Amino acid sequence: GAGVSQSPSNKVTEKGKDVELRCDPISGHTALYWYRQSLGQGLEFLIYFQGNSAPDKSGLPSDRFSAERTGGSVSTLTIQRTQQEDSAVYLCASSPSTGFSYNEQFFGPGTRLTVL
Amino acid sequence: ELKVEQNPLFLSMQEGKNYTIYCNYSTTSDRLYWYRQDPGKSLESLFVLLSNGAVKQEGRLMASLDTKARLSTLHITAAVHDLSATYFCAFRTGTASKLTFGTGTRLQVTL
């Protein structure tokens, strides 16, 4: 079946602009995660959704970052007033369930964001 | 706070050789994951280890978990060029859902 998809694959923007990144999880997966991968910081957790709610937003680096999920499926990560330090690859992952399950997370191809 | 130390950061090895990548973590963890990442690509799940003493093998890769030592290893047997990639370990602890990743080990297998 189809894996996790993300769009766009690449995004170049100017400092100060807003960007929206999209994630389509694997059908039926209730849990959805956003991570960020950058040279300096490695792989960092940003936010976790269970259904449409976000019980863990602890990784969002500032109030410029927000995310939502609708219909228990598609999620968008929005970065307002982008800064150069926001440049990174943003990865989305989904898993069938959470709690005491395997919680094996399946990753999408990522969106490479470059802020000029 | 869960911290993960992965070493080495970079590993260059010849085809046919054996080597081990190590992941040490700082607190109790009940799930350990190994992922592979090819350049410019996303993360591919390799192994999920759920309990102390767990060992899983797939081809030339074998992963193990020692929860008492807070250590997981990824052993490479008779390396081949196709194994060249970056390998990440990741941990999940308690009821938290997020994964905490190691720094990654970039493996380069040379002829």
The answer to whether A59 contacts B98, with C-beta atoms less than 8 Å apart, is: yes
Nearest chain B alpha carbon to A107: B43
Q: Which of B87, B41, B89 is nearest to A107 (CA)?
A: B41
List pLDDT tens digits, range A61-74. 999 999 999 998 99
pLDDT at position B104, please? 94
Selecting from B48, B97, B100 the residue whose C-beta is nearest the C-beta of A98 gives B97
pLDDT at position A102, please? 61
List pLDDT tens digits, range B1-34. 778 899 999 999 999 999 999 999 887 766 889 9
Would the pLDDT of A101 be above 60? Answer: no
The answer to whether A105 contacts B99, with C-beta atoms less than 8 Å apart, is: yes
Question: Phi and psi dihedrals of A50, rounded to 5?
Answer: -120, 110
Would the pLDDT of B37 be above 90? Answer: yes
Nearest chain B alpha carbon to A93: B43
List pLDDT tens digits, range B64-109. 999 889 999 999 999 999 999 999 999 887 666 789 999 999 999 9
Distance between A3 CA and the closest CA of chain B, angstroms = 11
Distance between B70 CA and the closest CA of chain A, angstroms = 19
Averaged over A105-112, what is the pLDDT?
A: 94
Would the pLDDT of B35 be above 90? Answer: yes
Top residue of A103, A111, A112 to mutate, by most chain B CBs within 10 Å, is A103
List pLDDT tens digits, range A3-41. 999 999 999 999 999 999 999 999 989 999 999 999 877
CB A23 within 8 A of CB A76: yes
The answer to whether B95 contacts A59, with C-beta atoms less than 8 Å apart, is: no
pLDDT at position B3, please? 85
Determine the Cα–Cα distance for residues A92 and B3; give it in Å rounded to an integer. Answer: 22
**Furthest CA-CA distance within chain A:** 42
pLDDT at position A77, please? 98
Q: A61 preceded by cis ω (within 30°)?
A: no
pLDDT at position A39, please? 83
pLDDT at position B36, please? 97
Which residues of A lie closer than 8 Å to B, measured between beta carbons? 31, 33, 35, 42-45, 48, 50, 55-56, 58-59, 91, 93, 98-100, 102-110
Determine the Cα–Cα distance for residues A22 and A6; give it in Å rounded to an integer. Answer: 6
Q: Which of B93, B96, B40, B102 is nearest to B74 (CA)?
A: B102
List pLDDT tens digits, range A41-97. 789 999 999 999 998 999 999 999 999 999 989 999 999 999 999 999 999 999 987
List pLDDT tens digits, range B38-48. 988 889 999 99
B54 touching chain A per CB within 8 A: no
Distance between A82 CA and the closest CA of chain B, angstroms = 23
